[in-house]
């Protein structure tokens, strides 16, 4: 007697061992998310990254697939992150005169943005009585994950929690940056890009490039420079908050 669904189960078990399945799932989920955003008129609330993440997480949970198995198949996409980061040098070279002309304000924005991001996040959690480990883990949330995890470990936070907060921050930043900047009536494209890159690292930078090359270039500068600025400023901000008791 044939058990209903048994054939599908055997097929899924077979496919689940193939790295190509998870790479295909990742690319397909993102491609469909991009099409959805276009169908919705480019709405920032339909950002492809969180939409694709939701789809992939749902598939992994429903199929009972461990993250390690998924990553073994999708790690080629992870490898391309390094290539994409290096490729930011191309638009930076084209936009270098504009970046050089704004180096003074850019440096001030980096200091203010990194300090404000860390202090506000820690201050809010501390005001609500959050545990010290959580308060310190959220401090470097706006920096790219490897740097953020190193900073969190240095100041007494939980690196794994920080990594999750970094991803969440990037997705929220990419989704909310455009409506928020519009509401604040900030029209300068360079300023919009820089702020997005400082607040939402790589995911925000990708969103900025969807708007224009100028916005994306300044977002990339903000993201890259923040890795250095945050390494110096976030531990300082953590000490200030700790001193408040």
pLDDT tens profile 164-179: 899 899 988 888 888 8
Q: How confident is the model at residue 145 (pLDDT cuts 50, 70, 90)?
A: confident
When pLDDT is cut at 50, 70 and 90, the band that residue 49 belongs to is confident
Q: List CB contacts of 20: < 8 A, sequence separation 6 or more.
A: 73
Write down the pLDDT at residue 8.
Answer: 46
Which residue intervals of the chain are DSSP H helices?
Answer: 6-16, 19-39, 48-63, 67-87, 89-94, 96-101, 103-127, 132-138, 145-155, 159-183, 189-211, 213-243
Is residue 3 over pLDDT 50? no
Put simply, whether the predicted model's pTM sits higher than 0.95 gets the answer no
Nearest CA to 199 among 166, 159, 164, 231?
166
Q: What is the pLDDT of residues 51-71, one digit of tens each?
A: 898 999 999 898 888 888 888
| Residues 170 and 143: beta-carbon distance below 8 Å | no
Higher pLDDT, 84 or 183: 183
pLDDT band at 18 (very low <50, low <70, confident <90, very high): low
Coil, strand or helix: which one is 65?
coil
* Residue-level pLDDT at 189: 93
d(CA 102, CA 82): 27
Q: Report the C-alpha gap between 162 and 202 in whole angstroms.
A: 15
Between CA 12 and CA 36 the distance in angstroms is 27
Residue of 171, 180, 185 lying closest to 46 (CA atoms) = 171
Q: If we measure between CA atoms, which residue out of 4, 2, 1, 242 comes closest to residue 123?
A: 242
Token output for 143: 């920096």
Of all residues in the chain, the percent with pLDDT exceeding 90 is: 48
């Amino acid at each position: 007697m044939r058990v209903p669904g048994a054939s599908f189960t055997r097929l899924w078990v077979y496919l689940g061992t193939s790295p190509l399945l998870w790479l295909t799932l990742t690319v397909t989920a993102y491609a469909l998310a991009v099409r959805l955003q276009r169908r919705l008129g480019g709405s920032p609330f339909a950002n492809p990254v969180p939409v694709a993440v939701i789809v992939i997480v749902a598939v992994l949970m429903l199929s009972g697939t461990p993250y390690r198995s998924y990553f073994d198949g999708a790690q080629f996409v992870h490898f391309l992150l390094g290539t994409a980061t290096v490729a930011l040098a191309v638009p930076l070279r084209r936009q270098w005169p504009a970046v050089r002309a704004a180096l003074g304000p850019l440096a001030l924005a980096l200091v203010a943005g990194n300090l404000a991001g860390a202090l506000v996040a820690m201050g809010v959690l501390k005001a609500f009585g959050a545990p010290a480990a959580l308060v310190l883990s959220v401090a470097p949330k706006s920096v790219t994950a490897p740097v953020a995890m190193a900073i969190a470990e240095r100041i007494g936070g939980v690196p794994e929690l920080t990594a999750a907060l970094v991803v969440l921050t990037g997705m929220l930043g990419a989704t909310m940056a455009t409506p928020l900047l519009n509401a604040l009536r900030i029209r300068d494209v360079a300023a919009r890009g820089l702020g997005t890159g400082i607040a939402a690292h790589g995911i925000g930078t990708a969103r900025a490039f969807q708007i224009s090359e100028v916005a994306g270039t300044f977002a990339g500068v903000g993201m890259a420079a923040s890795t250095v600025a945050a390494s110096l400023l976030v531990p300082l901000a953590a000490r200030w908050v700790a001193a408040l008791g």
